[in-house]
Structures are given as structure tokens and as C-alpha cells.
Amino acid sequence: MRERLRTAAVVLGLLVLRRRRPEPLLPAEQEPIVPEGSKQPRAELLALGLLLFAVVCFAAFVAVYALDRLPRQTQLLGLALGLGLLSLAAALIVTAKRLVVTEELEDDYPAFEHPEEQETIVRTAEESGSRLTRRRLFALGLGAAGGTLGLALLAPLASLGPVIDMNPFYRVPWRRGRRLIDEDGRPYRASEIDEGTFYTAFPEGADKEELGSPLVVVRLRQSELDLPPENAGYAARGIVAFSKICTHAGCAIALYRTPLYPPAEPKPALVCPCHYSTFDPATGGTVIFGPAGRKLPMLPLTIDRRGYLRAAGTFDGPVGPSWWGVRNRGAKA
Amino acid sequence: MIRKLVRFIDQRSGTAPFVRKTLRYLFPDHWSFLLGEVALYCFIVLVATGTYLALFYTDSTADVVYHGPYVPLQGQHMTEAYRSVLDISFTVKAGLLIRQTHHWAADLFVASILLHLLRVFFTGAYRKPRELTYWLGLTILTVTLLEGYIGYSLVDDLLSGMGLAIGNGVALSIPFVGANLAALIWGGPFPGTSAFFPRMYIAHVFLFPALIAVLLTAHLSLVALKHHTQFRQSRRESERKIVGVPTFPGQTPRSLGLLLAVAGLLVLLGGLVQINPIWLWGPFHTYISTNGAQPDWYLGWLIGALRLMPSWDWTVGNYTLVPNPFWGGVAFPLVVFGFLYLWPWLERKVSGDRAVHNLLDRPRDAPWRTAVGVAMLVWVFLIFMAGASDRVFVFFGISYGWQIWVYRVAIFVAPPVAAFIAHRVCVELREGERVEQGRERAIAEARAEGGAGEPA
Amino acid sequence: MRRRLVTVAVLAGALVLPLGASAATPAQVERGNHLYGRYCLSCHGAKGSGTPNTAPSLRGAGALAADFYLRTGYMPLHEVGTQPRRTRLLFDEGELQALTAYVASLGQGPPIPKPRPSRGNLAEGMHAFTDHCAGCHQIVAEGGYVTGALPPALENATDVQIAEAVRIGPYVMPTFSKQQISDRTLDSIIAYVDYVKHPDDRGGWALGHLGPVPEGLVTWLIAAALAVVFCVVIGKRLRRT
């Protein structure tokens, strides 16, 4: 029994591994389409080796995938699959370069144009309209119907969003009396706002993710404050608040540079990290560097009897990046 | 065996004549003709990996609290979309490999399209009768840029959220209709309604890929119908005769080899080089941001333009005519793509060349085209580099404000200078060739006359 | 043998640390005074009184600030008005302690903090870092840019230095009070900063955690370059020999 199995294995191995002399597929007198090339047994062996390596890699990929909790599993998976693919690619390239005949043939470029066919098409189109008496009008009718059909098909796209109503772009949740709260919902007291640092505040009871919600709040020394007349009274004991959304492209202003030793260091400024628009909190949020084309919207503040910070009104302008109507009217609470 | 199969298929489809012609279709010989193929193979890898990712991604912006295996994010509020990509990276086996391969494939896809475009431009391959092919290719590039942007935006990590905010700002800045358009796309002011992510998702996994596939089919059909262009490498190539290797057996293993090589490279990168580690960026909220946020490389030219623009909003009374981001985010790419689309027509107008071209120019053969192309390239590249000036400051200490001013000057000065140099180089190279040819001819003539010595 | 060495080191540390941290000897202060006269006096003035428009007063700065500026090499500053940078330390350990002791003796200032990041919570730390620090220092603390200054990367910052910097707000950095960032939150932030020095890079080669810029470089210098190599290898077809 064992003897027989061994013989069978040897025979099978010989069958697979032996070099087969290809039988002539065509009768000898017929000219070959692909010219015959010289034999390249070494290149053939190389290609076979590469294929074998690819097989090993792909099997390894499956094995690594099947294992659990392997350190660096992503790297091993990538290595196995990537090397397998590259090895297969190499085998094909060896095949292309050494194992198939690289013919260099000539062919005609296709004709640049086909005048007869063009003529036939034109005549077919023209002659098909022989029964029409008002051709122009008919064409106009077709065009009008097609155009309005397009319009009708596009019209429902207006349901995607408020296409005419621009009110949402002016609306902000800040209105007179709203308290400033922190990210965890705790209201800010004026006394806890220090100089030389910045705070992020939200309107009490509103959606934090809305563009009109987040504020950046800082306290400046009274001597530093230089608010323009239209922002007079916006500060409460040196505390000023601005929309945290940059007026250039809408990123959050999460940078406050504030000199520890003012005479020798750059003056306080709010900076957007996307395109480095830089705003001066002391002058009501004017642009002092970078591409922003509008000052930061400022929120007037008051301090209530219990010491909490509250909005004394709404922003002095719409929040967020500029658009065609951004200067037409103010922010709406 | 083969015979039986061929007979079976032909009898049932009648495609034998077509297949016979296809097998002997010729591919002219030059490595640069394969750049477009690299792009095609990146697209195939993108579709394959993207399909896998789509099986796990959730397009919802509903607020959830993270309880997954990544400790620094545990207990943080985030959108379902972001959590699903965290899960792809941490809990789906092989998920991170596929995700990173997808991202690298996207980066290489655009890069290879660009290389292909440069080859086509500088060799004049877009000329009659291949203008349509060229325009289709440009359209594929346009759609691809949008597709890539939406792709990394879908993750909803801190970087992609900031990218979306900027995209919204750019959309708003379009004169007269910007806000209306942005309201349509986002369903309202930023960050948009809950419908916005599903919209991006359907665009990313269906609308845009389908569009790219259709454009690609048309692009490749036109290439095949008009046959490839070729360089004149010997006396055999001409405007009428194409010389090349047939599809089978010469080209097929080569193209398959390239497909597998590109796929292997991308998978290796996907496994070994970390790309967009979204767990490190954290979730996005409108009120937070990080320093050093950048878009993927193929949108870097736009952020550069946005940063270079001085602080202008053009207004007429209270009406804001042109908000600032329009210049860098819309006008600049419009100029670049407008130039590319119009170029075949412009060149024909100026040169008066209306002939059919199957033979390619070498860049030196068309000094003016090369000069204009180099100028355009230098212009875009400088603006691209300006987008990385903050990182240059961090690494090399060159003042940011100073760099911005240098770039503002350089983008006007450098392109003409580069054009002049490119033109001179082309002319000189050709001059050198002419001298060389003259010398060879003289030697040949001298030999023919029976003279033994070379002319000095 | 090794274990004994470790034991000795631990004992020595236990003996030295409290001495260095709090109880300054008069001899140390005297030595500090001497060093102060040599290296600091020209700007910060006699007994830390400060010089208008040049250098702030050091009275009340405390051991906390002195320890921070000296151990980071921020001071002595080579040019007034420029951003202090991390440089080679000018002083050895004894001199550092002496100078710190001297500055602390100039007024009632905060002592050197003793952060315990092991008490902190990584998730809370990442959250707080995102809110307060990422705008300038970048979300993975790789450093960044703010107009007029260069927020440094935090890879070389020690736990104590982070705790000190948060309370001081050097150069143009904000100063965070205990009310704004409690010691507990500070521990979490430090735990996070320590974590991101070697974060979970399960994706492979981390490219400095800077995102798209190095990724673009890899795309072009590795991926696109290799793709071109493939094209050249495959496109060459053994012709015209």
C-alpha cells in the first residue's frame, strides 16, 4: 500500500514538474502569428520561484489574519499581502520580459475622419424631417419642452436646504440676559475670569455646536482697552467676549497670545490656526494680520447682581465667514 | 481547451473578430505612457478597499459616548461617524490596513493623474484629434479632488471637521449665490443638518465614483479608438504608422504586473506607514481646533492661496461682493483649470497649427509650450509651498510673516523667470542637437569621400 | 549587587530631593546670590527689582518660575524681547538649586509644583489639552505657530516643567490659574502629554504625528517615485539593441 502511494506521488510529481515539449498546435506549413522565441529555462525558474514566494506570502496573510491579539498585526498583514502582490508582479514582469516574445509591430492609425459616413448621418437626420412644415418652430418647441423638463427635474433640489431664506445665517442664540456657561454647563462668574488667559463660553440652554454659540472670553486691563465708539460699553470690568468662529473661513479661534511681560513681547491677540488671521481684542476684534476680511463679532457683556456674566445684547454683526449679505444687517437673536 | 472556450464564447457572443483585433492592438514604447495606467490601478485599489470600508462605516452625526478600546477617548462625546471609523481602526480585524491602504491609494491616485497630465501637456498629446480625451481626463481630475476631500471629511475627526469648516467658508464666499449654495449643500448654516453626512456619503461612495468610472470608460475608449500617440524613435514611426507591442502576449503581463506592483506598493504603505491616525486627532466640535491643521497634499495649493491673500472683502456699500476666501478657494483653482481646459484651443489660436498629430513633441521641440507650462507649474507650486510655511517656520525658524511676503512677490516674479529659463534651455538643447547632427553628417560625408581622418 | 545600588540610589534621592525642593540652606542662597550677580543682575536688577522695558521683577516669581526658566535653559536670554528657547543648560545641578533658592528668597512666590500624572485620567487629559492647549501646541503636542511666536513641541518637557509652564504662561502663553485648570486636571494633562510622546502608532511609521504634510512627502518621494520606477522597468522593452 505504502509502496503504491509512493509510486503514485513520484509519478504525479514527474507529471507536474517535467518539461513538456509543446505539441505543435498548428500544421507546420502555417506561418505562426506570434514568432517563436528561444527557451529561457532560468527565467522560467525565477518566475516559478517568485510565484512560490507569492503563494507563501498570501498564505501567511491568511494565517496572520486568523491569529488573535498579535502585536503589530496591521504591519504583518500589510507586509504579507504587499510582498505577495509585489512578488506576483515581479513574476509577471519576468514573464513579460523573458518568457513571452516581445513583438514590435506596425499598424495604421485609424482614419482621421469618415466623410461618407458623416454625409450619410447628416442626410438621414435631414431627410427624416420631410413631413414637418414648421421646422424652426418644432425645434423651438422641443427645446422649450426639454429645457423646462430639466428645470422641473432640478426644482426638487431646492428641498435640500433653505435656498431663499437667509435668516438662518443671521440668527445667533445670544440675546440680552443669557448667561455664559462653560463646556460642562457651569455659569461663569466675572470674578473667575483672569487676565492673561482665555475662556470658551456658550449660551445657557442653547446648542453648543451652532456657529453662533461659542465665545472666546478674555479680560484686559482697563488701560489696554481701546474700544471703538460703536463698541463702547461692550466690556464688563475689562472682560470682553467675541464669537469664537473666525470670520475668514469658520475655524475655531483657539489661540490667545498674551504677553507675560508686555513691554518686550507681542501684544495680546486672538489667532485662528487655519490661516493665521489675527484679531486684536483691545480694539473690538479688528484684523491685525492674515486674510480675514471682517472684524470678529463682539458680544456686549454685563455682570448680574450675583456676579454671573450675562450677554447685554447680541453680537455687533453676523458670525462666521463672510458671504454676500453678511454686512446687510446685524446678527439676530 | 483554449479552442473549446473560444468557440463557446464566440458562438454565444460573436465577439471573436473584436477580440482578435484587441489582442493585436498596439502599445507604443515609452515608460511615461504607463503613468495613466498607474492612476487607473490606484482607482481599482480605491474601489476595492472603499467597498470594504463601506461595510463598516456609519454616516450618522448622532452624538454618542465612546467606550471602545482606545483609552484617551473613552467617555468623550463624538459622532457615530467618527466612532465607526475608530472601530474600523481598532476592532475590525485588518480594518486599519484597508483604511490606510485606501488613504494612500487616494494620495497616489491624484499624484499619478498629475504626473500623467504633465506628460500629456509637455508632449503635446492633447492636440488634434485628442482634445476630447484630454478634457475628459481633466474632468476626472476635478471630480477626483472633490472625491478625495469628501472622503477624508467623512471621518469627522478634528482635522476633517476643520477642513469642512473651511470648505463651507469657501462655498459661502462665492459672489451672489454662495450662501444659497452652501445652505443647499449643508441644509443650513455650518455644521449643517443631520442630512449632510448622508449626502456626502452617497456622493463619496456612489455619485462621484460612478461619475469617475463613466468618464474613465469614455477616456479609455477614445484612447483606443484613436490609438496611442507615440514618440518618433526610429524611421518606422510616422503620423500614419503606429509602432508598438501588441496587447497579447506582449503588453498583458506588463500591465497586469504594473497593476499588482501598484497594489503591492499601496498595501505595503498601508501596513507600514501610518496615515491619518484619526484616534490621535480626536473628535471635531465647531468650537475647537488644532494648530498645524492641513488638508491632504492635493488640496495644499488651495490652503496656500487662502493664506497668501491679503485681508480683503470687496464690498459695495453694505453688499459684500467678493468675500476673501473666494480668491484662494475658488478663483485660483478656476484660473488653473480654466487654463488647462482652454490650453489646446489657445495654442491652436496662437500657433495656427490645425494639423492632426499622432507623433509627440519632446518638450524641447515646443519651447513656448514648455515655457508656459513651466511658468504655470512654478506658480502653482509656489502657492502650494506657501501653504506649508507655518511648518517651515517650526522646523527652520524662518519668520512666517516674512515668508508670506516673499511668496506674495515670488508668485509674480518667479513664473516669468522660469518661463524664460525653460525657453532658453529648450532652444539650447535643440541647437546642441543640430550641431551634433551636422557633425555626424560631416563625418559620414568625409568617410564617403574616402578620407581617412576626421575633420577637426 | 545591582539591587543594592538601586536601593542606595533611591535612598540618596529620598535624602536629596526634599533638600533641593524646599528647605534651602543659607549657604545655598548665598551661592545663588553670587551666581545671580554674575548672570542675571544686568537685566533683572539688584535683588530682582527688574528693569523697565527690559526684564520683569523677580520678587514673588518664586521657586516655580526660577526652576522652570533655568532648567529649560530659557534663561539667561541672549537677546531681550525675543522668545526664550530651550537651550543647553548653563548651570550644574548645585548651581540651579542655589539660584532657585535665591530667587525664591526674594519674595513670597509659589514653590516648585509636584505633579503626579499617575493620578491623572488620560481621557480627561486629552479633552482638557484639546480645549486649552491644542490651538497652539497642536493636538499631539508637536508644536506649532502663532503669529509672533513659536509654541514649542512638548517632547522634551518634563512633568514638572509642564506644570510650571501652565501656571506661569511663559512669553505669550496664557497663564492658567488653579480655578481654570485644577491640579487634578493638570495631572491629567501631563499624563496626556507624556502619553503622546509615544502614542499608539498602530498604523506603523508615525511620520512625526504631523498628518498631511509628511504624508504628502511620502506620497511623492516614496509612492510616486516608486510608481515611476515601476513604469520605467516595465516600459523598457528590449528594443533597438
Chain C residues with beta carbon closer than 8 angstroms to that of A96 = 234
Q: Is B428 helix (H, G, I), strand (E, B) or coil?
A: helix
Which residue carries 443669557 as its cell? A178
Q: Which tens digit of pLDDT belongs to each residue from C47-70?
A: 999 998 889 999 999 999 999 999
Mean pLDDT of B302-322: 93
Mean pLDDT of B165-178: 96
Which chains, if any, share at least 3 CB pairs under 8 A with chain B?
A, C
Mean pLDDT of C119-136: 96
The full DSSP string for A34-86 is: SPP----HHHHHHHHHHHHHHHHHHHHHHHHHHSSS-TTHHHHHHHHHHHHHH
Closest residue of A to B294, CA-based?
A274
Yes or no, beta carbons of C215 and B233 under 8 Å apart = no
Yes or no, beta carbons of B111 and C219 under 8 Å apart = yes
Q: Rounded to 10 degrees, what is the CA torsion of C109, C110, C111, C113?
A: -160
Residue A194 and residue C172: Cα distance in Å, rounded?
A: 15
Asked if A79 has any chain B CB less than 8 Å from its own CB, the reply is: yes
Write out the three cell numbers for B39: 492612476
Q: Note which residues in 218-277 of chain B have CB less than 8 A from chain A.
A: 225-227, 236, 239-246, 249-250, 253-254, 256-261, 263-272
Best mutation site among A77, A209, A324 for testing chain B: the one with the most B CBs within 10 Å? A324
Asked if A323 has any chain B CB less than 8 Å from its own CB, the reply is: yes
Of A242, A262, A260, nearest to A197 (Cα)? Answer: A260
B98 within 8 A of B52, measured Cβ to Cβ: yes
- CB contacts < 8 A (A, C): 97
Of B120, B139, B370, nearest to B228 (Cα)? Answer: B120
Q: Which of A178-182, B138-142, B225-229, B388-392 has the lowest mean pLDDT?
A: B388-392
B139, pLDDT greater than 60: yes
Chain A residues with beta carbon closer than 8 angstroms to that of B170 = 249
Q: Is A1 helix (H, G, I), strand (E, B) or coil?
A: coil
What pLDDT does A265 receive?
Answer: 85
The residues, ordered by sequence, that sit 6+ positions from B330 with a Cβ below 8 Å of its Cβ are B170, B173, B174
Write out the three cell numbers for B258: 504594473
Chain A residues with beta carbon closer than 8 angstroms to that of C234 = 93, 96
Asked if B5 has any chain A CB less than 8 Å from its own CB, the reply is: no
What pLDDT does C118 receive?
Answer: 96
Q: Note which residues in 99-158 of chain C have CB less than 8 A from chain A.
A: 131, 134-136, 144-149
Q: Is A245 helix (H, G, I), strand (E, B) or coil?
A: strand
Which chains, if any, share at least 3 CB pairs under 8 A with chain A?
B, C
DSSP state of B230: B
Asked if B179 has any chain A CB less than 8 Å from its own CB, the reply is: yes
| Stretch (H or E) spanning A239 | strand A239-243
Yes or no, beta carbons of B34 and C234 under 8 Å apart = yes
- CB atoms closer than 10 angstroms to residue B121: 21
The residues, ordered by sequence, that sit 6+ positions from C100 with a Cβ below 8 Å of its Cβ are C24, C32, C63, C66, C67, C70, C112
Q: Note which residues in 367-386 of chain B have CB less than 8 A from chain A.
A: none
Best mutation site among C146, C167, C210, C231 for testing chain A: the one with the most A CBs within 10 Å? C146
What pLDDT does A30 receive?
Answer: 76
Backbone angles phi, psi at B341, to 5 degrees: -65, -40
Asked if A293 has any chain C CB less than 8 Å from its own CB, the reply is: no
C-alpha A111: how far from its chain's center? 44
Yes or no, beta carbons of B311 and A250 under 8 Å apart = no
Q: Which tens digit of pLDDT belongs to each residue from B200-220?
A: 999 999 999 999 999 999 999
The beta-carbon neighbor of A105 closest among B226, B246, B249 is B246
Q: pLDDT 10s per residue in chain A (333 long)?
A: 678 888 887 777 777 766 666 555 555 567 888 888 888 899 999 999 999 999 999 999 999 999 987 889 999 999 999 999 999 999 999 999 999 988 889 999 999 999 999 999 999 999 998 999 998 999 999 999 999 999 999 999 999 999 899 999 999 999 999 999 999 999 999 999 999 999 999 999 999 999 999 999 999 999 999 999 999 999 999 999 999 999 999 999 999 999 999 888 899 999 999 999 999 999 999 999 999 999 999 999 999 999 999 999 999 999 999 999 999 988 888
Chain A residues with beta carbon closer than 8 angstroms to that of B271 = 74-79, 81-82
Q: Which tens digit of pLDDT belongs to each residue from B60-100?
A: 999 999 999 999 999 999 999 999 999 999 999 999 999 99
Q: Rounded to 10 degrees, what is the CA torsion of B114, B117, B122, B123?
A: 140
Which chains, if any, share at least 3 CB pairs under 8 A with chain C?
A, B
Closest residue of B to C85, CA-based?
B397
Yes or no, beta carbons of A260 and C175 under 8 Å apart = yes
B106 within 8 A of B208, measured Cβ to Cβ: no
Residue A219 and residue A230: Cα distance in Å, rounded?
A: 19
Of B418, B159, B185, nearest to B288 (Cα)? Answer: B159
Calculate how close chain C gets to B409, using CA atoms only, in Å: 20
Residue B361 and residue C230: Cα distance in Å, rounded?
A: 24
Chain C residues with beta carbon closer than 8 angstroms to that of B291 = 134-139, 143-146, 151
Q: Note which residues in 48-107 of chain C have CB less than 8 A from chain A.
A: 52-56, 80-81
Best mutation site among A81, A197, A277, A288 for testing chain C: the one with the most C CBs within 10 Å? A197
C143 within 8 A of C86, measured Cβ to Cβ: no
Yes or no, beta carbons of A276 and B307 under 8 Å apart = yes
Write out the three cell numbers for C103: 530667587
Buried-exposed string B256-294: b where 16+ CB fall within 10 A, e elsewhere: bbbbbbbbbbbbbbbbbbbbbbbbbbbbbbbbbbbbbbb
C4, pLDDT greater than 70: no
Mean pLDDT of B386-410: 90
Which residue carries 509510486 as its cell? A7
Residue B341 and residue B138: Cα distance in Å, rounded?
A: 7
DSSP state of A236: B
Yes or no, beta carbons of A321 and B172 under 8 Å apart = yes
Residue B185 and residue A162: Cα distance in Å, rounded?
A: 10
B342, pLDDT greater than 90: yes
Of A164, A161, A163, A169, nearest to A327 (Cα)? Answer: A169
Cis check: omega of the bond before C76, within 30 degrees of 0 = yes
| Stretch (H or E) spanning A182 | none
Residue B396 and residue A121: Cα distance in Å, rounded?
A: 66
The beta-carbon neighbor of A183 closest among C53, C55, C131 is C131
Write out the three cell numbers for A243: 464669537
Q: Note which residues in 192-221 of chain B have CB less than 8 A from chain A.
A: 193, 195, 199
Residue B128 and residue B135: Cα distance in Å, rounded?
A: 12
Vertex B61 angle, CA B56 and B66, to 5°:
70
Of C122, C87, C102, nearest to C194 (Cα)? Answer: C122
Q: Note which residues in 38-77 of chain B have CB less than 8 A from chain A.
A: none
A143 within 8 A of A304, measured Cβ to Cβ: no
- CB atoms closer than 10 angstroms to residue B430: 14
Yes or no, beta carbons of A291 and B184 under 8 Å apart = no
Q: Which tens digit of pLDDT belongs to each residue from C139-197?
A: 999 999 999 899 999 999 999 999 999 999 999 999 999 999 999 999 999 999 999 99
Asked if B381 has any chain C CB less than 8 Å from its own CB, the reply is: no
Q: How far is CA B119 from CA A224, B373, B421, in A?
A: 59, 11, 20
Continuous H helices in chain A? 2-17, 41-66, 73-94, 115-127, 135-154, 167-170
pLDDT above 90 coverage of chain C, percent: 79
Asked if A23 has any chain B CB less than 8 Å from its own CB, the reply is: no
ipTM of the modeled complex: 0.93
Chain B residues with beta carbon closer than 8 angstroms to that of A322 = 172-173, 313, 320, 323-325
Residue A22 and residue B370: Cα distance in Å, rounded?
A: 53
Asked if C219 has any chain A CB less than 8 Å from its own CB, the reply is: no
Vertex A78 angle, CA A77 and A83, to 5°:
110
Yes or no, beta carbons of A258 and C175 under 8 Å apart = yes
